[in-house]
Amino acid sequence: MTGTGTSSVGRSAELFARAEQVVPGGVNSPVRAFRSVGGTPRFMVAGSGPWLTDADGHRYVDLVSSWGPMILGHAHPAVVEAVREAASAGLSFGTPTGGEVDLAEELVRRVEPVEQVRLVNSGTEATMSAVRLARGFTGRSVVVKFAGCYHGHVDALLAEAGSGVATFGLPSTPGVTGAQATDTIVLPYNDLDGVAQVFAERGQDIACVITEAAAGNMGAVAPDDGFNAGLKRLCQAHGALLIIDEVMTGFRVSSAGWYGLEGVAGDLYCFGKVMSGGLPAAAFGGRADVMAQLAPAGPVYQAGTLAGNPVAVAAGLTTLRHATPEVYTALDANADRLHGLFTDALTEAGVVHTIQRAGSLISIRFAEGVGRDYDDMRAAETWRFPPFFHALLDHGVYAPPSVFEACFISAALDDDAFSVIADALPVAARAAAAATAPEAS
């Protein structure tokens, strides 16, 4: 059956209660806990194509796609077969394997500025290692990042800042030291003048600028025309490296990621999500002269017991090999179709909104006009999202459980899936319209 009604989540509730005893907050990654939308996180037991099935037997159209990786849909037969085959041949050797070379070649072939890659286990490791390499290569310590961009939970990159042109980072989470945070400068996204000013003041100290190729972790926020190119120009002029984080956009928004849409070459790139095929795998790479500084070729240390794991590599490589031009056409078409359904339902219900797009990344901003930075995205009527989310969930659509996360489309979404979405959205839009702002405290 499709559609749940909140009364029938007994198995998920039971599992969550057990989880809370032995796992902090009951989850292994915070957004999964539904804190910002309330209610019981659904424990999934199976996925097939565009569908997820939870522990109580409810089926949902999946608009999360495991936060990105599942562009082909769940349990794609070729990927499952490749994983089965790789697993049968041994789970891990701690030696080089041919599959790693195939995957590295595939990444290098797809993204022209990437001459060499190193495989790691998560996007966090990729960004952490890229920043270390940039510091090692330049002999400088300062990292510039943008508010609202997420690069995994790397200490130096969690540093946050309030609004302002050039705020020096303060630790925004306990456990990140002041020293780590003061080496991080946080600037507003899409503010090239702010970046130019910081380079004018501290250019000699700046090792790198790290940016999401297109922002997808504050909702979808595309870079303004010329923003990434401007970052590139400033980095080059001051001898800093530009790290383009394509963990989310890579191999999703086009066969060559955001680079394929925009063509601005970074010095280093970070990849994850889609290239993992749904198992733990990620990568960083870029200019050969920079990558040559990595151990054992060079002095910058970086390593991993399970890096290049043969089963994960098989999942990633097979996913990429099946991510044909037709798949990217389907991803774009499905994003456009969802966009149209969002617009129609919210307009019909009289909800003020803007659909944010960055390629096939898509999210809803409950406000007039396109949001260009984190302040814009936070200033929207975000309180309209929880009832919207829960109405979708109750009617069989699993959207990301946070207003600051983009929807991840899969190529597997078909007419059946879209008809469930089309039926659910008007109810969700009316719930958003009926939402009331929280009392100012």
Ligand X SMILES: *Cc1c(COP(=O)(O)O)cnc(C)c1O
* DSSP output for 341-369: HHHHHHHHTT---EEEEETTEEEEESSSS
C-alpha span between 46 and 57 (Å, rounded): 10
Nearer to ligand X, 29 or 441 (CB): 29
Nearer to ligand X, 36 or 197 (CB): 36
Nearer to ligand X, 116 or 211 (CB): 211
Write down the residue that tokens 């007039």 correspond to: 368
At closest approach, how far in Å is the CB of 67 from ligand X? 6
At closest approach, how far in Å is the CB of 397 from ligand X? 22
At closest approach, how far in Å is the CB of 151 from ligand X? 5
| Residue 245 appears among annotated catalytic residues | yes
Is residue 341 within 8 A of residue 421, CB to CB? The reply is yes
Question: Which residues lie near ligand X (CB under 6 A)?
Answer: 122-124, 127, 150-152, 212, 216-217, 245, 247-248, 272, 282
At closest approach, how far in Å is the CB of 362 from ligand X? 15
Catalytic-labelled residue, pool 62, 183, 191, 245: 245
* DSSP output for 114-182: --EEEEESSHHHHHHHHHHHHHHHHT--EEEEETT----S-HHHH-B--SSSSEEPB-SSTTS-HHHHH
Nearest to 420 by CA among 437, 400, 398, 403: 398
Catalytic-labelled residue, pool 145, 273, 394, 398: 273
| Residue 232 appears among annotated catalytic residues | no
C-alpha span between 250 and 375 (Å, rounded): 25
HSE toward the beta carbon, residue 81, CA cutoff 13 A: 5
Catalytic-labelled residue, pool 54, 62, 145, 150: 150
Is residue 319 within 8 A of residue 79, CB to CB? The reply is yes
Nearer to ligand X, 131 or 351 (CB): 131
Nearer to ligand X, 194 or 272 (CB): 272
At closest approach, how far in Å is the CB of 247 from ligand X? 4
C-alpha span between 126 and 114 (Å, rounded): 14
Nearer to ligand X, 127 or 319 (CB): 127
What are the φ and ψ backbone dihedral angles of 47, each rounded to 5 degrees? Answer: -140, 145
Is residue 2 within 8 A of residue 35, CB to CB? The reply is no
C-alpha span between 38 and 116 (Å, rounded): 44
Residue number with the smallest Cβ distance to ligand X: 123
Q: Which residues are catalytic?
A: 150, 245, 273
